[in-house]
Structure 1
Amino acid sequence: YINAGVLLMNLNYWREKNILEELLLYAEEKPDKILYADQDMLNGALTESITKIPVRYNVHMPLWSKKYKVLSIFQKEIDEGLKDRAITHYTTSMKPWLKGCTHPFKKDFLI
């Protein structure tokens, strides 16, 4: 299951394979499987077409909090991504620019 906050897409492939139609068909046929709109449609319809990018390109809050046990199987990759992050994706309600937030990057936003 991928987080759709950061996507690298081959648009020629999407056009050639009519991916938009696949996504819409998935949404029509399996509405009960869609909780996170685009993200669930991408994961459901394109399971065989997804290639994972390195964690460093989508570092998001659950990785910092380490609250999901399933992530432990990827701990080395996660630790490397946290050290050398290229893109920080501010998910959840922990936005470092909000007052009272305890996000690790709060100091970068509030001076």
Structure 2
Amino acid sequence: MNKTTYNAAIVNTGSGNINATNTTNIVGNENTINAQTKEGLEEIMSQIKEILPSNDPELKEIVLEIESEISQLNPKKSIIKRGLQAMKGLTQGITAGVIANKLPELITSALALL
């Protein structure tokens, strides 16, 4: 009995889907999110928007960037992660109130989906 193993790389340079059955891992820095993850991120972003201070233009801009990427046909994880991490960095200086207590938890939940 002979056992043959083939190692192959699959590269998609377009916008189509790739189906790879019986694979262990597909890695890349531009992976996209699926519909279920997209719904979860939309819900978390909605909660984040509710508690953000209305007078912070930097946080608003990050939220718009994340929402814009989520609304794309094939949202890229790397762009969403970058926005969430930037938001997390900006909110570390906030020490009081609902924002300080709830926002880091929401951002961590969103990052966990990715």
TM-score range, shorter chain: under 0.3
Report the TM-score, using the length of structure 1 for normalisation.
Answer: 0.26
Structure scoring higher RCO (CA < 8 A, sep ≥ 6) equals 2
Higher CA-based Rg: 2
Report the TM-score, using the length of structure 2 for normalisation.
Answer: 0.26
